[in-house]
């Protein structure tokens, strides 16, 4: 069954099975469809009924819902559903190529996330004070508690270099269908109450590649939702080419789309809440953004990984021009 390992966040609150009528995620994923009373939602027959009634086609979110429906002892029967069901025909790569992004639940286990957090704490305490200013961004540069971004972590620490070259690289090669070059490992945070919105943009505008055959991964280190600024993708936008960008004034995201917000953009936009260890991967041309952190108590910490296909070539002149403009924008802010 495609779509990554099972995720406990889509199981019942006590780890058992959840009926369709009780499942909030089902209703979100399947829209306003009416659910037949009496379905327990815990076997393949019921799943077929739900799909037939709603007419819903496969999406990564629906796969997540299926994971919740098939929790507990029914996992084996769910994993062996016949190939007539739509979710059996979509690999991670196919979803990535069709939608411009793919969600991989539980990319890291709870123990692996814990180790990442331990190593991140060490990195912030021991390595960050030694970094050049252009690799460390704060919401308020005079307040260390407002750390918002770290750049090129793989260049400054052996543990993160090894991690970057492991599972993330393997997934990048699977999704792009080619060998890749690891370009940047990042830390992202939106501090409580002051974490700024991420403007709508396409990473390819920053990358300056021809062709723009590259991807970015974003992996949650804690619960992320609409309140603290989850990522939002415009589904299929990678197929529409590069859009116009201009200065934003946002540190760490210097360029944003100048024409975002059409009815089509908003109709195709999909929020991506995530739990610790969940990973999102998106194409260099996929439009995405995030709201600010409106929570007064919660951070929004994540790791980012950027990989270029070996088939992509640098547009050297465009990159140099962009770097010059970026340096001007960062004066006095870092």
pLDDT digits (tens, 9 = 90+) for 27-53: 444 443 343 334 343 444 445 444 444
Nearest to 182 by CA among 162, 164, 156, 158: 164
Per-residue pLDDT tens for 188-242?
999 999 999 999 999 999 999 999 999 999 999 999 999 999 999 999 999 999 9
pLDDT value, residue 272: 98
**286 has a pLDDT exceeding 80:** yes
Residue 24 included in any domain: yes
Residue 3 included in any domain: no
Residues 111 and 77 in one domain: no
The crossing angle, in degrees rounded to 10, of helices 60-69 and 44-54 is: 140
Task: Using a pLDDT cut of 90, give the percent of the chain over it.
Answer: 63
Residues 72 and 188 in one domain: no
Residue 275 included in any domain: yes
The residue behind tokens 């970026």 is 326
Residues 122 and 185 in one domain: yes
Q: If pLDDT is split at 50, 70 and 90, which confidence band does 101 have?
A: very high
Quote the CA–CA distance of 20 and 264 in Å, as a whole number. Answer: 31
Residue 222 included in any domain: yes
Residues 66 and 166 in one domain: no
**297 has a pLDDT exceeding 90:** yes
- Domain holding 27, by residue range, is 8-90
Instruction: For residue 276, report the phi and psi dihedrals to the nearest 5 degrees.
Output: -55, 130
Residue 2 included in any domain: no
Residues 70 and 137 in one domain: no
Task: Output the domain CATH number for residue 308.
Answer: 2.60.120.620
Helices marked H in the chain: 24-29, 44-54, 60-69, 75-79, 92-99, 110-122, 158-164, 167-176, 203-207, 263-268, 316-330
**247 has a pLDDT exceeding 90:** no
pLDDT value, residue 30: 45
pLDDT value, residue 21: 44
Tell me which of 293 and 14 has the higher pLDDT. 293
Radius of gyration, CA atoms only, the chain: 20
Residues 135 and 228 in one domain: yes
Quote the CA–CA distance of 254 and 118 in Å, as a whole number. Answer: 30
Residues 57 and 128 in one domain: no
Q: If pLDDT is split at 50, 70 and 90, which confidence band does 62 have?
A: low
Residues 110 and 86 in one domain: no
Quote the CA–CA distance of 129 and 137 in Å, as a whole number. Answer: 12
**100 has a pLDDT exceeding 60:** yes
Number of independent structural domains in the chain: 2
Residues 77 and 178 in one domain: no
Residue 148 included in any domain: yes
Residue 156 included in any domain: yes
């Amino acid at each position: 069954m495609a779509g990554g390992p099972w995720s406990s966040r889509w199981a019942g609150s006590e780890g058992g099975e959840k009926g369709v009528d009780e499942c909030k995620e089902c209703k979100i994923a399947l829209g306003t469809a009416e659910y037949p009373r009496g379905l327990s939602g815990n076997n393949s027959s019921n799943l077929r009924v739900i799909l037939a009634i709603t007419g819903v086609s496969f999406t990564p979110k629906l796969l997540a819902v299926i994971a919740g429906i098939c929790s507990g002892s029914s996992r084996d029967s769910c994993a062996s559903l016949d190939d007539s069901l739509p979710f059996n025909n979509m690999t991670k790569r196919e979803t990535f190529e069709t939608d411009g992004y793919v969600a991989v639940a539980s990319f890291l286990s709870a123990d692996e996330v814990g180790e990442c957090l331990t190593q991140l704490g060490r990195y912030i305490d021991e390595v960050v004070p030694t970094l050049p200013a252009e690799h460390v961004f704060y919401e308020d540069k005079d307040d260390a508690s407002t750390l918002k971004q770290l750049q090129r972590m793989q260049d400054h620490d052996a543990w993160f270099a090894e991690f970057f070259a492991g599972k993330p690289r393997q997934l990048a090669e699977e999704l792009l269908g080619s060998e890749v070059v690891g370009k940047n490992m990042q830390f992202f945070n939106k501090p409580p109450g002051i974490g700024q919105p991420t403007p709508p943009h396409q990473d390819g505008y920053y990358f300056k590649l021809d062709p723009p055959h590259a991807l970015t991964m974003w992996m949650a280190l804690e619960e992320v939702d609409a309140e603290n600024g989850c990522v939002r993708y415009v589904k299929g936008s990678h197929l529409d080419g590069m859009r116009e960008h201009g200065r934003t004034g946002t540190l760490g995201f210097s360029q944003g789309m100048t024409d975002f917000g059409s009815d089509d953009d908003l109709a195709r936009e999909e929020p991506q809440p995530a739990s610790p260890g969940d990973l999102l991967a998106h194409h260099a041309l996929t439009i995405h953004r995030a709201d600010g952190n409106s929570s007064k108590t919660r951070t929004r910490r994540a790791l980012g990984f950027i990989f270029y296909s070996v088939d992509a070539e640098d547009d050297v002149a465009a990159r140099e021009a962009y770097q010059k403009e970026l340096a001007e924008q960062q004066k006095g802010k870092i």
